[in-house]
Each structure stands twice: as C-alpha cells, then as structure tokens.
Amino acid sequence: MQLEVLQRKENPLLKRVEVTFKAIHKAEPTPTRDALRAFLAKELKATKDIVVIDFQASTFGRYETVGEAKVYKSKEEALAVERKHILVRNKLIEPEVKKEAAPKPEKPAPTPRAEKAEKAAAPAPKAEAPKAEAKPEPKPEKGAPREEKKPPAKEEKKPAEKRDEKKDEKRAEKKPEGKKKEAK
C-alpha cells in the first residue's frame, strides 16, 4: 500500500496537524482504519495513539482510499478535543455500555411434552359433556355411480347488463367494415 499526503495544515490552537491523504492499494482490499493509522504514523513520524482518522472513503472500481486525519501532540489533547464516537472508531477509548435499568425476568423453562399431554388429559373444572365424535363419511367406491350436478338456472339480465349490450352494439356499428365483429 502506498500513502500520499495531499495536504498538510498546522493548527496551533488545537495543537494538531490536519492531513488529507490518499492511499493506493492495488490487489488488496480496502485498508482498515487501524492499518491506515499505522501507515500515517510512519509517514508523519508520530505514534499510532495520537493519530485520529476523521473519515475514509473508497471509490467503487478504483484502488484508492481518500480521507482526512489529525495528528495531535499528545493522546490527552486528542481525548480532550475529539468527539467520543470518533475516538471509539479509532479505538482510543472503549465504547460506553449502557446499564440496564432492571434485569429482565427469565422465561419459565418449557414444560416437556409428556407433562403437557397429562395436563390436557386432566378434566377442566368447568368440563362440558363430551362431544360425540363425527365419523367421516365413507368414500364412494370407484365403480359406484356419482350424482350428477345440474347447472344453475339462468337468471334474467339486469338493466345494467342491458345497457352494456346497447353500448356494445353501438361500438360494433362504428367499427370499419373489414374489422366489424358481431356482438355476443
């Protein structure tokens, strides 16, 4: 991986050097933030713990990563100035773990199937009379004749349907003679 420093700016008020960089990584995956910090530390003759990468971005189809970094005079100054989420990304501080308000109650252990069957077999206090089991109807044998179903009787056409027929007739009249179809 090759690293080029594109821009370097001194910031004496915040006691840091602001750097814009470009990393070229042919035949390698996009470098991690940690690897870029190590390369920047070598390039800028600093230790890895005072280098903070603000952002890094790779372009699709290219072997380049462009980003911005800050090199502080000491780690304490970096911790005082930088935002917490940036420090967590650069692994300079540990992420804060939110404490739970109250421990969650554990779910009761699932009952084995045998116990469920026993509970289901036991009569309930408000037991009703047992229902008679319905026997399935015997299937007709293959040789037995089947009942024929009669088609339902035709209903008279409603007035809306009659209006539709009139529209269809008018459309048929308007069509050219070669393409004229009969109304159904």
Report the distance separating Cα 30 and Cα 24, nearest Å: 9
Q: What is the DSSP string of 24-57?
A: E-TTSPPPPHHHHHHHHHHHTT--GGGEEEEEEE
The pLDDT value recorded for residue 175 is: 66
Closest CA to 75 of 33, 15, 19: 15
Predicted local distance difference test score (pLDDT) of residue 182: 57
Report the distance separating Cα 132 and Cα 20, nearest Å: 84
CA distance 143 to 102: 72
> Taking the domain 2-89, which CATH number applies?
3.30.70.330
The predicted structure's pLDDT at residue 120: 60
d(CA 139, CA 142): 9
Gap between the Cα atoms of 148 and 135, Å rounded: 25
10-residue mean pLDDT series, the chain (184 residues): 94 96 93 94 94 94 95 95 94 85 66 62 59 66 64 62 72 66 56
Phi, psi (5° rounding) for residue 65? -125, 125
Residues 6+ apart with CB under 8 A from 81: 14, 16, 72
> How many CA atoms within 13 Å lie on the side-chain side of 175?
13
pTM exceeds cut of 0.95: no
Query: What is the per-residue pLDDT for 23?
Result: 95
Domain extents for the chain?
2-89
